[in-house]
Structure 1
Amino acid sequence: MADARARRLAGIAFVAPFLTLYVVILVCPLLMGIGISLHRADLFGARTFVGFDNYARLLVDPVFHQAIGNTLLLTLMIVPALTAITLGLALALNRGTVAAAWLRGLFFSSSVLSVTIVTLIWRFILTPDAGLVAEILEASGRAPIPFLSDPDLTIPALAITTIWWSIGLPMMLFLAGLQQIPQDIYEAAALDKAGAWTRFRRITLPSLRRTLILVVMLQTAAQLQLFGQAQLLTAGGPSGASRPMVLFIYEVAFVRWELGYASAAAEILFMLVLAATLLQYWAVRPREDQ
């Protein structure tokens, strides 16, 4: 009994620092945000309890509805494409050659750039005045395309920028997963004269199931919180056509100074991220159990 109690206390002592930081950094701000969302509050500390009025306002706020739609559209455009591209790159670069190692470093290099540098690069590429794409189109006798000012093109422009920026980590996760697959399975499949597509469908993809789930979950949570690209590349315009939820929250809190209203929107975003994560987890759990 004494040994078991000592081991239990030792375990508590080991996890206590992490749990303390977790509560201070994550749980307490979450609870404080819920409390602020029930008030009419500003950045100067003035608060008036209004209950669920902020949430009721959000339900009928067309600007917030547009921000939700933009966020979901960006997520749907980015996550599947990014997953497919990075999986393809991992399959192509899963080799021990010098060229493959150099290309892995090249593709990963974009991930270490800050969002400011990324948006500057893509502004030079996409701007219709003197951007790279505009120069190419003008050289071929075509009119420049206003990627950053056309309401129908701003979301695709943000999606392309984000995919280019985010390639590195998912590619490395898939590479790590590929290197964990025993090579004797492929050798046995080769003896059975299985083709490349059969090997991918029957061996590679099932073996990467956990990695695939991890990549999709991480990227879904990340893209639902997309902010910097939209703020710096398009400023949410034109007319809110590229304003995601986090940019809406930022503008409400720090431009309009409606802290309670912004906190209510943040709580809805938190619930959206949580619901998306749990939905993906539950969708794959029965297969994992089997």
Structure 2
Amino acid sequence: MRREDGRSGAARGRAGARPRRPGSRREALAAYGFIAPNYVLLLVFVLIPLAGALVVSLQRTDGFGAGEFAGLQNYARLWSDPLFWRALGNTVLFTLIVTPVSMAFGLVAATLLNTALPARPLFRSILILPMAVSGVATALIGVLVFDQNSGVLNKLLGAFGLPAVTWQSDAGPAFLSIVLVTVWWRTGFNMLIYLAGLQGIGPDLHEAARLDGANTLQRFRHVTVPLLGPTTFFLTVLNVIYSFQVFDIVFVLTGGGPAGATSVLVTYAYETGFVTRDQGYAAAIGMILFLFALLFAAAQWRASRTRDVVE
């Protein structure tokens, strides 16, 4: 009986197995062939440089000749470096301000542009315009506006009899200038992604909520915002990673000054690697930055996955 049960079980297993469709192997090979260039680019431009940076971070270098293996000394040095902690604090503060503000502005703009607003194409073009230029060009526009000696904003303040703001000399205004320019630059991108998410929401859901007595604000809070959850998760990850990697706007607007008040991790790594020429220590800063971004993305993905399972 046991042998018969075993044979019958095996027979049932073979009978229940999905037969391989003719040509499936060829299709699988074709699919791997199409995605192979992406993996090659990922290997050449991401994984290999990342491994090289890890190797350099374990060395003691002075910019000349080969480095000497130093183990974890560069990482241990980070704990006692006040400039690193200041740059990390500035990066975290920058991220906590820019990410929610730019996403909120992007959501409001997308909501308005998703309605029958007059001159919608014009407003969309104005908001998306910063995306058409590089971060350096955007920062140069910021210099024209926020320069404390010849900037447009200080000239306008002077025209109204108000005192000029020392955008480059004081820590607070300098930090505020890079936040404002970055928010202006990122709002258009967030608006574009949110607009795509809004256009994927069926109007019947809003109509059902309206028939149930929900007003505009209630429909936005209880229908629109929850359905934009995946879009918000995607934008949160991208904005946080970008904020931790910000360089061009800070470098052009303030150069990390005054006295390191606007220095972030990437500008500090740049100064360490290319000014003081301590590439090993700069690579260690870069690896810590990569670790922060990786841990945040993993935490956000896990939280989103857990929330979807619970719901």
Structure 1 length-normalised TM: 0.94
1:146 match:
166
1:205 match:
225
Name the aligned partner's letter for residue 169 of structure 1: F
Residue of 264, 270, 282 corresponding to 2:284:
264
Give the total of aligned pairs.
290
More displaced stretch, 221-230 vs 127-136: 127-136
Provide the identity percentage. Answer: 36
Instruction: Give matches, 1:1-290, under 5 Å.
Output: 3-95=23-115, 99-289=119-309, 290=311
Name the aligned partner's letter for residue 209 of structure 1: G
1:54–1:261 Cα contact (<8 Å) kept:
yes
3-state SS of 1:110 partner: helix
Q: What displacement does 1:27 show? A: 0.8
Rounded Cα–Cα distance in structure 1 between residues aligned with 2:266 and 2:229: 30
Task: Give the gaps of 5 or more residues in structure 2.
Answer: 1-19
More displaced stretch, 263-272 vs 127-136: 127-136
3-state SS of 2:171 partner: coil
Q: What displacement does 1:116 show? A: 2.6
Rounded Cα–Cα distance in structure 2 between residues aligned with 1:151 and 1:97: 40
Rounded Cα–Cα distance in structure 2 between residues aligned with 1:8 and 1:119: 46
Name the aligned partner's letter for residue 259 of structure 2: S
Task: Give the gaps of 5 or more residues in structure 1.
Answer: none
Rounded Cα–Cα distance in structure 2 between residues aligned with 1:98 and 1:15: 43
Rounded Cα–Cα distance in structure 2 between residues aligned with 1:236 and 1:253: 15
3-state SS of 1:75 partner: helix
Rounded Cα–Cα distance in structure 1 between residues aligned with 2:159 and 2:25: 77
Higher alpha-carbon Rg? 2
Q: Tell me the alpha carbon deviations over residues 67-86 of structure 1, each in whole angstroms, 9 at most, x when there is no partner.
A: 11111111111001001000
Rounded Cα–Cα distance in structure 2 between residues aligned with 1:50 and 1:168: 45
Distance change (3 Å), C-alpha of 1:47 and 1:197? same
Rounded Cα–Cα distance in structure 2 between residues aligned with 1:89 and 1:164: 12
Q: Tell me the alpha carbon deviations over residues 244-272 of structure 1, each in whole angstroms, 9 at most, x when there is no partner.
A: 11011111111111111111110000001
More displaced stretch, 191-200 vs 88-97: 88-97
Rounded Cα–Cα distance in structure 2 between residues aligned with 1:3 and 1:106: 50
Rounded Cα–Cα distance in structure 1 between residues aligned with 2:161 and 2:118: 41
Q: What displacement does 1:95 show? A: 3.1
Q: What displacement does 1:40 show? A: 1.1
Deviant stretches of 4+, over 4 Å: 1-5
Q: What displacement does 1:97 show? A: 5.5
